[in-house]
């Protein structure tokens, strides 16, 4: 017993001693100091589609958190939904020489050449959620094909023994997210001859247009059994049309989104959405930070294989809905911790 | 007035084929065509849905018509609508009593309208520039100071708001009723209220109207305040319709669609011509087109082509039947 006590005391003394020396000279475990210096005073730029909506606000909040902790600068350039303005801002950023540019692409082609040019200047490019045709150092985001696959399968399942008539509510047809998801949805439906797509329209991501289109489609085919909607904020309109037609619960509505409470969980709770496929923005924020930390710690010259951090999907229905299913914009900081 | 007389004479010559009638004719032809070929197109509930889908567009067009008839234009319509109503939803979400939130948001919208009017009437900045700049200012300021996310959802427990956009009375959807009310009130105002008659006079010839004793400047302010008021009502319907207000709509082509409806219906941008009837005709044509193409499940790009061709056809027909000359065109016409 006494032996153990002595040993314990000795260990404590040693630890204390180590602690004391650590104060004089920062403790170096071989990689921590290296990583601090690699990130200190660096510049990371973020060019979203636009600031001010749930996805980009969430990512920016997450990236700011790590930037403050690690002492690098986060520059945000907001093109406010304009592809031209975005291209201009990326071009301007080249002369500012940030270490990384985080790009949220408006479509598959718009920035493709520009991103290659950015890379030639030795600036690393991290793409988020929407991937351009150009493959760059890193991608953080969703596998849209999987989302579409899942949504289509749910609708097929819900339509078993019913009319088999379904609708697809598209956003903007040139968006990569839209393009890939719809591809997946159609691939799944093609395997099921009983499924008949009676309405396949684009609402330009606008809830009011979605409402109009869905209302017309439901009037024409009141026996529609399922709708695949491509975005929560647009599908509030789709859901309103279903409710207005008195078909809530009869038409299976599947949507997808970033997990903001008002846009997703509240909609599932009220029965407006039968399911929502969530790509958690707070999780994506942490993944972005991991990718940024990784990229900043690479030497410029070393050859880097392109890598992706694919966001895991979470399917929320009335059955599994709970407090942790979604996040709130006002409390984003605490959700990120 | 003089213009109306000339136009009347021209119409008699050309067999009364005004642009309004051409557009109405195209609308009727399309209607008959769709009714004959598309199952359930002519069903009453589909027709109500048809009008419902364009009711917001129609309301905004009525607001636009008030300013265009008075030889102005209001490009800040969509920004006023989105910003005031989104702010109202946020006030409701933070616990402001409904009547206070509505009153504050309405006052905000009308204040912006009044500032528009004062800048145009008293500072004498052309309406195009004033309202274009005001649209950007209102949206920017709103997003910067009042609204943190661009899509504001209807807060839970505020279901009363839905009465403006959801549900129906005697089978008629509420947005259609509100659209009809806005049209009737605006139509009566233009036809029977002194200020409404003066708007035609001011639009036809502002200098002459002023010499005759029309209080031109206050009248211009009134136009923009009324237009902002209509925007707010349209915004309420939009928010109630889809349980949210998407402020991003400011960046959409909605304001051009509104101008299209007004011009297509036959209200010349030169002012002094047309009325609410033209707005209804223009709105219905767009409504029939959209509804028919949605039922036929026409792909998006094809829809744009068809829409463009029909609109061009309407304008070409008007130019052929009512050729412009020195007498029928006037300064400011585009």
Taking only the tens place, the pLDDT of each residue in A189-205 is: 999 999 999 999 998 88
| pLDDT, tens digit (0-9, with 9 covering 90-100), for B247-286 | 888 888 888 889 888 888 888 777 788 889 999 999 999 8
Find the closest chain B residue to A54 by CA distance: B149
Q: Which residue of B has its CA nearest to A214?
A: B294
B106 Cβ contact partners less than 8 Å away, ≥ 6 residues apart: B84, B229, B232
Residues of chain A contacting B57 with CB distance shorter than 8 Å: none
Which residues on A lie below 8 Å from B294 (Cβ)? Answer: 199, 201, 212-213, 216-217
Q: Across all residues in chain A, what is the average pLDDT?
A: 88
B221: pLDDT strictly greater than 80: yes
Q: Which of B57, B60, B151 to mutate to test the interface with A (most CBs of A within 10 A)?
A: B151
Give the minimum alpha-carbon distance from B55 to chain A in angstroms, rounded to a whole number: 11
> Choosing among A240, A242, A260, which should be mutated to test the B contact, i.e. which has the most B CBs within 10 A?
A240
Residue B54's closest CA among B175, B147, B146, B182?
A: B175
> Which residue among A173, A207, A266 sits closest to B242, beta carbon to beta carbon?
A207
Nearest CA in chain A to B151: A53
Query: Would you say how long chain A is, in residues?
Result: 337
Nearest CA in chain B to A261: B153
- B300 → closest Cβ in A173, A208, A233: A173
Which of A244, A273, A276 should we substitute to test contact with B (largest number of B Cβ atoms within 10 Å)? A244
In a domain? residue B328: no
Residue extents of the structural domains in chain A: 1-30, 38-143+282-311, 144-279
Q: A38-143+282-311, superfamily in CATH?
A: Response regulator (3.40.50.2300)
**Residue range(s) defining the domain that contains residue B17:** 2-321
CB distance A75 to A44 below 8 Å? yes
Sequence-distant (≥ 6) Cβ neighbours of residue B14 within 8 angstroms: B321, B322
CB spacing of B242 vs A215 below 8 angstroms: no
Q: What is the least distance, in Å, from the CA of A206 to any CA of chain B?
A: 8
Chain A environment of B290 (Cβ under 8 Å): 212
**How do strand A165-170 and strand A124-128 relate by DSSP bridges?**
unpaired
Higher pLDDT, A118 or A1: A118
pLDDT number for residue A334: 72
B334, pLDDT greater than 50: no
Please determine, looking at this structure, whether the domain spanning A144-279 carries the CATH number 3.40.50.2300: yes
Give every CB contact of residue A211 below 8 A, 6+ residues apart in sequence.
A237, A238, A240, A241, B53, B241, B242
> Cβ B166–A217 below 8 Å, yes or no?
no
For A122-150, what is the mean pLDDT?
Answer: 92
In sequence order, the β-bridge partners of residue A227 are A167, A253
Please report the pLDDT score of residue A2 as a whole number. Answer: 62
In A, minimum Cα distance to B147 occurs at A52
Determine the 3-state secondary structure of A229 from DSSP.
strand
Cβ neighbours around A101 below 10 Å, total: 29
Residues with Cβ within 8 Å of A83's Cβ and at least 6 positions away in sequence, in order, are A106, A107, A110
For residue B280, give how far its alpha carbon lies from the nearest alpha carbon of chain A (Å).
18
Q: CB-CB: which of A199, A220, A272 is closest to B40?
A: A220
- Give the mean pLDDT of A35-41: 89
Q: Which of B53, B248, B299 comes nearest A216 by C-beta?
A: B53
Question: Fold identical between A38-143+282-311 and A144-279?
Answer: yes
Range with the lowest mean pLDDT among A256-265, A300-309, B92-101, B209-218? A300-309
- The answer to whether residue B333 is domain-embedded is no
User: Does residue B329 sit within a domain?
Assistant: no
Distance CA B95, CA A255 (A): 29
For residue B248, which residues of chain A lie inside 8 Å, CB to CB?
50, 53, 81
ipTM given for this complex? 0.76
CATH number of the domain to which B259 belongs: 1.10.3470
| Total domains present in chain B | 1
**Percent of chain B clearing pLDDT 90 (strictly above):** 38
pLDDT at A27: 86
Identify the pLDDT of residue B9.
53
User: Tens digits of per-residue pLDDT, B122-166?
Assistant: 998 888 999 999 999 999 888 888 887 788 888 877 778 888 877
Q: What is the pTM of this model?
A: 0.80
User: Would you tell me how many other CB atoms lie within 10 Å of the CB of residue A299?
Assistant: 7
Best mutation target among A215, A222, A270, A329 (most B Cβ atoms within 10 Å) is A215
Residue B326 lies in a domain: no
Q: For residue B161, which residues of chain A lie inside 8 Å, CB to CB?
A: none
User: Alpha-carbon distance A169 to B80, whole Å?
Assistant: 28
**Average pLDDT over every residue of A61-67:** 92
Whole-number pLDDT of residue A141: 93
Residue B75 is assigned to a structural domain of this protein: yes
pLDDT of residue B62: 95
Q: Is residue B310 part of a domain?
A: yes
CA distance B88 to B85: 5
- For B281-326, what is each residue's pLDDT tens digit? 999 998 998 888 888 888 878 888 888 888 788 778 777 776 666 5
Task: Give me the mean pLDDT over the A93-118 stretch.
Answer: 90
Which range of A242-246, B15-19, B310-314 scores highest in mean pLDDT? It is: A242-246
Strand A73-76 relative to strand A226-229, pairing: unpaired
The pLDDT tens digits of the residues spanning B23-73 come to 888 899 999 999 888 888 888 888 888 898 899 999 999 999 999 998 889
CB atoms within 10 A of CB B241: 29
């Amino acid at each position: 017993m006494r032996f153990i006590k002595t040993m314990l005391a000795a260990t404590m003394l040693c630890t204390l001693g180590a602690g004391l020396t650590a104060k004089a000279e920062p403790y170096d475990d071989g990689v921590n100091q290296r990583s601090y210096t690699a990130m200190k005073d660096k510049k990371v730029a973020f060019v979203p589609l636009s600031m001010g909506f749930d996805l980009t606000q969430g990512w920016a909040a997450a990236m700011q958190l790590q930037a403050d902790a690690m002492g690098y600068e986060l520059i945000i350039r907001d093109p406010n939904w304009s592809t031209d303005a975005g291209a201009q801002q990326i071009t301007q950023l080249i002369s500012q020489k940030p270490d990384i540019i985080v790009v949220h692409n408006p479509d598959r082609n718009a920035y493709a050449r520009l991103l290659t040019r950015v890379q030639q200047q030795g600036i690393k490019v991290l793409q988020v959620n929407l991937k351009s045709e150009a493959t760059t150092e890193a991608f953080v985001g969703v596998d849209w094909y999987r989302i579409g696959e899942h949504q289509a399968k749910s609708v097929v399942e819900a339509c078993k023994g019913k009319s088999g008539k379904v609708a697809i509510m598209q956003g903007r047809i040139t968006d990569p997210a839209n393009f890939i998801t719809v591809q997946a949805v159609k691939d799944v439906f093609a395997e099921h001859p009983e499924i008949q797509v009676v309405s396949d329209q684009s609402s330009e991501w606008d809830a009011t247009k979605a409402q109009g289109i869905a209302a017309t489609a439901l009037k024409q085919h009141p026996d529609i059994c399922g709708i695949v909607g491509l975005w929560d904020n647009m599908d509030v309109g789709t859901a309103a049309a279903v409710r207005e037609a008195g078909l809530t619960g009869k038409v299976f509505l599947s949507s997808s989104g970033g997990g903001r409470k008002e846009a997703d969980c509240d909609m599932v709770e009220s029965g407006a959405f039968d399911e929502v496929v969530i790509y958690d923005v707070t999780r994506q924020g942490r993944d972005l930070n991991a990718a940024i930390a990784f990229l900043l710690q690479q030497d410029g010259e070393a050859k880097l294989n392109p890598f992706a951090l694919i966001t895991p999907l979470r399917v929320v229905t009335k059955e599994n809905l709970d407090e942790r299913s979604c996040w709130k914009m006002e409390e984003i900081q605490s959700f990120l911790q | 007035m003089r213009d109306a007389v000339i136009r009347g004479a021209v119409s008699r010559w050309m067999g009364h084929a005004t642009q309004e009638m051409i557009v109405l004719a195209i609308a009727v032809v399309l209607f008959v065509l769709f009714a004959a070929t598309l199952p359930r197109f002519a069903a009453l509930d589909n027709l109500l849905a048809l009008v419902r889908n364009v009711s917001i567009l129609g309301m905004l067009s009525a607001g636009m018509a008030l300013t265009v008839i008075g030889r102005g234009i209001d490009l800040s319509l969509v920004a006023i609508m989105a910003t005031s109503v989104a702010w109202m939803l946020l006030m409701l979400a933070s616990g402001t009593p409904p009547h206070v939130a509505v009153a504050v948001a309405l006052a905000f919208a009308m204040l912006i309208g009044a500032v528009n009017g004062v800048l145009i009437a008293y500072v004498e900045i052309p309406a195009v520039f004033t309202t274009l700049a005001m649209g950007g200012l209102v949206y920017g300021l709103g997003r910067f100071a009042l609204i943190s996310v661009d899509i504001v959802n209807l807060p839970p427990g505020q279901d009363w708001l839905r009465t403006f956009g959801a549900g129906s009375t005697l089978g008629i959807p509420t947005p259609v009723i509100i659209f009809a009310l806005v049209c009737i009130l605006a139509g009566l105002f233009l036809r029977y209220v002194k200020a409404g008659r003066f708007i035609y006079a001011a639009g036809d010839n502002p200098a002459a109207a002023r010499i005759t004793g029309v209080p031109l400047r206050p009248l211009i302010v009134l136009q923009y305040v009324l237009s902002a008021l209509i925007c707010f009502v349209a915004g309420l319907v939009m928010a109630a319709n889809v349980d949210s207000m998407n402020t991003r709509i400011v960046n959409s082509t909605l304001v051009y669609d509104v101008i299209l409806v007004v011009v297509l219906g036959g209200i010349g941008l030169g002012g002094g011509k047309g009325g609410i009837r033209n707005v209804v005709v223009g709105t219905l044509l767009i409504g029939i087109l959209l509804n028919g193409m949605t039922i036929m499940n026409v792909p998006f790009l094809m829809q744009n082509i068809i829409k463009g061709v029909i609109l061009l056809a309407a304008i070409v027909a008007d130019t052929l039947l009512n050729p412009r000359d020195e007498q029928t065109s006037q300064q400011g016409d585009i």
